[in-house]
């Protein structure tokens, strides 16, 4: 609208000068400039709305920090609650899923907004949980932010999808949503 208003002011003040300079197609030119200015104003309005909606306007219930290391994940629910998500052969029971079972489980509640802050300490990883529509490349010295809202009950098992190192397939993640 700002561009349109400026165009109208210039057109009103310098109408006779503009008409004398232009040739006989000045009506088409005026309509073309009006159309372009209205179109740009509409696009700008939509862009401002999208930028506003992308801000953190959600009420965040909990912030979960995830740090990936070369062979395991570290999760931080609060300042005092840290746990390492690594599975040893001695920790498994008979009948457990060997490569995707974990000692600790990430638990989420349905209908609550979560913010995940994900980073890596040493190598590139990928946090890819296809059932939830999540795929984030976890790069060292870069913090990725993800807002989550769950509406499906279930238990999800996943591993790292990136070729981080020799034991990348043994980095399981277990998510419980209830």
For the stretch 125-134, pLDDT in tens is 888 887 778 8
Q: Are residues 21 and 77 in the same domain?
A: no
Domain boundary, last residue among 36, 54, 72 = 54
**Cβ atoms of 138 and 144 closer than 8 Å:** yes
Q: Are residues 67 and 127 in the same domain?
A: yes
3-state secondary structure of 158: strand
pLDDT value, residue 143: 92
CATH number at residue 169: 2.60.40.420
Q: Are residues 68 and 145 in the same domain?
A: yes
Is residue 21 scored above 60 in pLDDT?
Answer: no
pLDDT value, residue 18: 54
Among 12-16, 45-49, 78-82, the range of highest mean pLDDT: 45-49
**Tokens describing residue 155:** 């238990």
150-155: long-range contacts, CB 8 A cutoff, minimum separation 24: 150/108, 150/109, 150/110, 150/111, 150/112, 150/177, 151/110, 151/111, 152/110, 152/177, 153/110, 153/177, 153/178
The CA distances from residue 51 to 7, 38, 132, 134, in Å, are 26, 20, 24, 22
For the stretch 82-96, pLDDT in tens is 666 666 666 667 766
Distance CA 11, CA 97 (A): 75
pLDDT value, residue 126: 83
Q: Are residues 84 and 39 in the same domain?
A: no
Is residue 165 scored above 70 in pLDDT?
Answer: no
pLDDT value, residue 55: 67
Domain range for 30: 2-54
Q: Are residues 87 and 30 in the same domain?
A: no
Domain boundary, last residue among 31, 54, 77 = 54
pLDDT value, residue 80: 64
pLDDT value, residue 105: 80
Q: How confident is the model at residue 71 (pLDDT cuts 50, 70, 90)?
A: confident
Q: Are residues 72 and 41 in the same domain?
A: no
Q: Are residues 123 and 42 in the same domain?
A: no
Span 39-61, average pLDDT? 78
Q: Are residues 103 and 164 in the same domain?
A: yes
Q: Are residues 115 and 85 in the same domain?
A: yes
pLDDT value, residue 149: 81
Q: Are residues 31 and 75 in the same domain?
A: no
pLDDT value, residue 11: 67
Q: Are residues 125 and 168 in the same domain?
A: yes
pLDDT value, residue 142: 92
Total domains in the fold of the chain:
2
Share of the chain above pLDDT 70, in %: 70
Q: Are residues 83 and 24 in the same domain?
A: no
Span 28-36, average pLDDT? 82
pLDDT value, residue 155: 87
């Amino acid at each position: 609208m700002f561009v349109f208003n400026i165009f109208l002011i210039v057109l009103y003040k310098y109408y006779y000068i503009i008409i004398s300079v232009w040739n006989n197609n000045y009506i088409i030119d005026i309509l073309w400039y009006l159309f372009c200015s209205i179109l740009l104003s509409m696009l700008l309005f939509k862009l401002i709305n999208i930028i506003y909606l992308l801000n953190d306007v959600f009420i965040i219930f909990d912030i979960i920090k995830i740090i990936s290391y070369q062979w395991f994940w570290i999760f931080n629910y609060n300042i005092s609650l840290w746990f390492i998500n690594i599975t040893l052969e001695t920790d498994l029971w008979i009948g457990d899923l060997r490569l995707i079972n974990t000692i600790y489980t990430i638990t989420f509640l349905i209908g609550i907004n979560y913010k995940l802050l994900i980073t890596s300490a040493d190598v590139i990883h990928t946090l890819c949980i296809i059932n939830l529509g999540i795929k984030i490349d976890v790069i060292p010295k870069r913090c990725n932010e993800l807002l989550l809202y769950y509406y499906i009950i279930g238990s999800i098992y996943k591993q790292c999808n990136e070729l981080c190192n020799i034991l990348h397939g043994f980095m399981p993640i277990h998510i419980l949503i209830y």
